[in-house]
Structure 1
């Protein structure tokens, strides 16, 4: 699959880059194609908008190609690639079926494809795009976000500048039927008599005593020496797609043949006479006067009516001949409005934009140099220049891709990007380099690990890196790797209290310390240390079997020991804080092991110092519990007391059995239906407000927690709002316990968040009580 992915990446990247660049090389021509598309939906006379829109789309297209090839912002680039291909595949299918326009413009004027050929091409690219999109998580970023975005901006400026240059001057390379070197007499003769032989100019060059013939479109490099040129017959398929060239004077008389018979002539081409400003007319007069100083005639070719052209001619004071032709011929003859074409004996020798010809005309010997030059050599030199500029531009972009990739890799390898290098939208830089650094660690570090089996909601997400240190020494060693130490991290147990919004762009660490040991023992109590990776209910069962009390009310709570002090887990009138003596953790800032007394953990309702002051800097490795050998039964919770009243001399084993039975009847098994247990905390409100609610809703149970404060069951509030048993797509609320949100097959984190927000809003509107998620949202 890696080979297929690479092939798809190279093909789509090069095609998008080439297509975008060719359109940027001739943005005016591309704007004409966009105008045709706009006419399909009824938008006419949108020339400026079409030009800008075409320029932007071409920049985006080329930028997608560059990003795919270089590996920039691959998550964004792959999505943009897929959107482009889906849209244009559907569009070209419509073009093939309805044929509303003649040319799709995929590769500008350079390559002409039929609509069906374009559609087939797009189908192939769509398949490649789908491969790239669904394999997007496998691509390794080349740099940190800031560097990659900076490179994107650099290329955007480069591509945009290319298009703007071509608008203000002329296309980088002319693929129109009237490109430099075209012999219009021969082209028209072919149109009028298809059986007539056509002719082309052949250039003879010499290198190391060997002579070869070249066409104007296939000029050799500078190591060859020009010898001679001659005109020879050529086959029809070597000629551009010129369909006609008809020029008339103000009286409607055709003057095409007389124009093409002139030995030399300068033609000012004005496709958009209505867009010429006063300054343009001043420039036009200057051009006419400068040409008038020479012996070469000057004419103006436009598409306006004779009356309009004559009135403008008189107003400006230009006494040259004004001829007329159709718009398509004008815009193909010169893309610049007011640009100049030099023609010798019907052969197009050179072209300039109005701006560039003004500079030429006002320079010393500019026009005379053109007049004195050999027409065939002049056209060959201009064509060579166009070709070289286009080839150098595309080569520069490709070389820049290679160079930037080398620079990024070199900079990262030498720790030059270390400060901002860690993560990039779900992917990490330098995968191979990091893998080399972690291969000898005692703790296995895995790239692109699925977390579906590591979160009880069963959300199908991935993490860039995954590690499960089984001892404190392995955890400390893990943080000796600079790249892992600095990247975003998430510490998880069994993933029973986590909601992933999407893939995690960093390292997930699962402390896998599973030792259980007695550290202290006396007549009344035992001090028991449990590793962070021990399953919580296993520990509870372990202690109950030995008659050690304190944790029995917390039976069947999902998760690992390491999470118990963070959340200060609690149920049925008990909390983990009641039994915790101390917590041992690795400080990721000081890079050392620390043990903190339970009294200093600032435990609160589902709260602790680990969620506040120490948030993000601790990785708990073990917890020390104080368990009683002669435990006092804690059965004051309503559901417990009812069941315990039926048992003579109940013990902690009875408590555990009852709690497990109650939880199993109310809560779904995550192995069957994804859930994170209680999704919301029970809100704590003022006792006065609770009393008012109790008077209004007698079935509401209130639990005093401190002076002036009471706890209200969030499940009751949610149930009253009608959410119990409800389903929204792939998520829902459990039918027996409204606190539990369910994630069915195919559920996404966003779906759960949307449902949770809906529930919170409903509770707030009805009871004016805020309920907060108990799960950690990542």
Structure 2
């Protein structure tokens, strides 16, 4: 009886965590694909070159993995095909543990994306989380003789429905934008404010004197102390945005972006700029002419490529450069549209949902 009780608790904990983690990523499979691409880049350089060939299918792999996480979590809790489920979870957690250890030990990918953008973990925190999960799954394996031997038809139907539901959700998020935006550039955020500490940063100083380590809140004036390290006491006050930048030949243009009414057309990769809805974007740009709004093409590309694209489409707008990671963080679409006023994000659109000029202008007067 005790063994069954322990097993039930482990099934709830492990299954619940996999469901929670998977649902967060089902909300943003493009973000998971971006993270996989980072790993493939690193692995192709440090482990084996063939990993680079996985980058083109990163989005497909992301959808498969995030849906699988949720489905396996539900199967574990309901007791559907229990042994297959537990062995599948073991394989998945071993894979994740390898990724997080590699990230932590070699400091290659500083955010594993385990919980998407909802909960940020350091590489070592991610690794320790996976170790705890691995121990719990091994506990389930040790007690596998007590797992359900069969499941009812309704339980199997629930698993299928969950799988289909998550698959549809992930496709919807890809063709639009994440249902819930956990990033620092979400609607309602003032970007310049998020680039500043939420309160004054406070530091402690580890000093050494006569072979003894001392921690001080103020840097000592006594020169007999030897400096060892400085530690931030309130890391929660750090700016939520630390890498935003936009520039052209004249230098940094962040202040320009943060002033007045702006319609930003963003592209993290001009070579993969989706042309399907270009006519809608063209109408938006043309119908904005004469309005008190600056339309900016903000792309991770050389200025010459940006200017050539603008000229090719006959647009009278401003072209600026930005970092690909920043653009991918702001918008999960290539291209995507962001409406801003005085640095505050008013709306974000996938190119499949490009707003009309009238809809965009209405946002500035609300």
- TM-score of the superposed pair, with normalisation by structure 1: 0.40
Structure of larger gyration radius: 1
Q: Which residue is 1:4 aligned to?
A: 6
| C-alpha separation in 1, matches of 2:67 and 2:275 | 32
| C-alpha separation in 1, matches of 2:333 and 2:13 | 34
| C-alpha separation in 2, matches of 1:125 and 1:152 | 22
Cα distance change, pair 129–195 in 1 and its aligned pair in 2 (3 A)? closer
- Equivalent residue runs for 1:24-103 within 5 Å: 24-42=26-44, 43-44=51-52, 46-103=54-111
1:293 is displaced (CA, Å) by 6.7
| C-alpha separation in 2, matches of 1:45 and 1:246 | 30
Q: Is the 8 A contact 1:96 1:115 kept in 2?
A: yes
Q: Which residue is 1:307 aligned to?
A: 304
1:137 is displaced (CA, Å) by 3.6
1:14 is displaced (CA, Å) by 1.0
- Matched residue SS, 2:356: helix
- Matched residue SS, 2:339: strand
Q: Is the 8 A contact 1:73 1:148 kept in 2?
A: no
Cα distance change, pair 156–280 in 1 and its aligned pair in 2 (3 A)? same
| C-alpha separation in 2, matches of 1:350 and 1:238 | 26
| C-alpha separation in 1, matches of 2:180 and 2:128 | 27
Cα distance change, pair 170–88 in 1 and its aligned pair in 2 (3 A)? same
Q: Which residue is 2:363 aligned to?
A: 370
Q: Is the 8 A contact 1:271 1:331 kept in 2?
A: yes
Q: Is the 8 A contact 1:177 1:241 kept in 2?
A: yes
| C-alpha separation in 2, matches of 1:353 and 1:163 | 15
- 1:325 matched to 2:339: no
Q: Is the 8 A contact 2:200 2:237 kept in 1?
A: no
Output one character per residue of 1:31-61: Cα deviation in whole Å (capped at 9) or x when no partner. 1111121123213475431121122111111
Q: Which residue is 1:21 aligned to?
A: 23
Structure 1 unaligned residues grouped into runs of 5+ = 197-234, 374-778
Q: Which residue is 2:254 aligned to?
A: 256
1:303 is displaced (CA, Å) by 1.3
- Equivalent residue runs for 1:497-536 within 5 Å: none
Number of residue pairs the alignment of both structures matches: 327
| C-alpha separation in 1, matches of 2:200 and 2:40 | 36
1:244 is displaced (CA, Å) by 2.6
1:239 is displaced (CA, Å) by 6.7
Q: Is the 8 A contact 2:26 2:66 kept in 1?
A: yes
- Matched residue SS, 1:292: coil
1:267 is displaced (CA, Å) by 0.8
Output one character per residue of 1:462-509: Cα deviation in whole Å (capped at 9) or x when no partner. xxxxxxxxxxxxxxxxxxxxxxxxxxxxxxxxxxxxxxxxxxxxxxxx
| C-alpha separation in 2, matches of 1:158 and 1:314 | 43
- Matched residue SS, 2:99: helix
Pairing partner for 1:140 from 132, 135, 148? 148
Pairing partner for 1:361 from 339, 356, 362? 356
1:158 is displaced (CA, Å) by 0.9
Pairing partner for 1:123 from 131, 134, 138? 131
1:142 is displaced (CA, Å) by 7.1
- 1:183 matched to 2:182: no
1:332 is displaced (CA, Å) by 1.0
Cα distance change, pair 115–245 in 1 and its aligned pair in 2 (3 A)? closer
- Matched residue SS, 1:295: coil
| C-alpha separation in 1, matches of 2:132 and 2:141 | 14
Cα distance change, pair 248–156 in 1 and its aligned pair in 2 (3 A)? same
1:277 is displaced (CA, Å) by 4.7
- Equivalent residue runs for 1:220-235 within 5 Å: none
1:238 is displaced (CA, Å) by 6.0
| C-alpha separation in 2, matches of 1:65 and 1:277 | 35
1:97 is displaced (CA, Å) by 2.2
| C-alpha separation in 2, matches of 1:346 and 1:355 | 24
Q: Is the 8 A contact 2:104 2:110 kept in 1?
A: no
| C-alpha separation in 2, matches of 1:119 and 1:238 | 25
Cα distance change, pair 6–143 in 1 and its aligned pair in 2 (3 A)? closer
1:331 is displaced (CA, Å) by 0.8
| C-alpha separation in 1, matches of 2:254 and 2:92 | 44
1:30 is displaced (CA, Å) by 0.9
| C-alpha separation in 2, matches of 1:175 and 1:136 | 37
- Matched residue SS, 2:195: helix
Q: Which residue is 2:210 aligned to?
A: none
> With CA pairs under 8 Å and 6+ residues apart, which has the higher RCO, 1 or 2?
2
- 1:265 matched to 2:262: yes
Cα distance change, pair 21–120 in 1 and its aligned pair in 2 (3 A)? same
- Equivalent residue runs for 1:335-414 within 5 Å: 335-356=332-353, 358=354, 360-361=355-356, 366-373=359-366
1:257 is displaced (CA, Å) by 0.7
Q: Which residue is 2:276 aligned to?
A: 279
Pairing partner for 2:180 from 163, 169, 173? 173
| C-alpha separation in 2, matches of 1:46 and 1:140 | 37
| C-alpha separation in 1, matches of 2:169 and 2:326 | 25
1:240 is displaced (CA, Å) by 5.9
Q: Is the 8 A contact 2:81 2:151 kept in 1?
A: no
1:147 is displaced (CA, Å) by 5.2
- Matched residue SS, 1:111: coil
- Matched residue SS, 2:124: helix
Cα distance change, pair 335–53 in 1 and its aligned pair in 2 (3 A)? same
Structure richer in helix, relative to its length: 2
Q: Is the 8 A contact 1:95 1:101 kept in 2?
A: yes
- Matched residue SS, 1:182: coil
Cα distance change, pair 25–239 in 1 and its aligned pair in 2 (3 A)? farther
Q: Is the 8 A contact 1:284 1:338 kept in 2?
A: no
- Matched residue SS, 1:170: coil
- Matched residue SS, 1:181: coil
Output one character per residue of 1:298-330: Cα deviation in whole Å (capped at 9) or x when no partner. 211111112111221121111111111111111
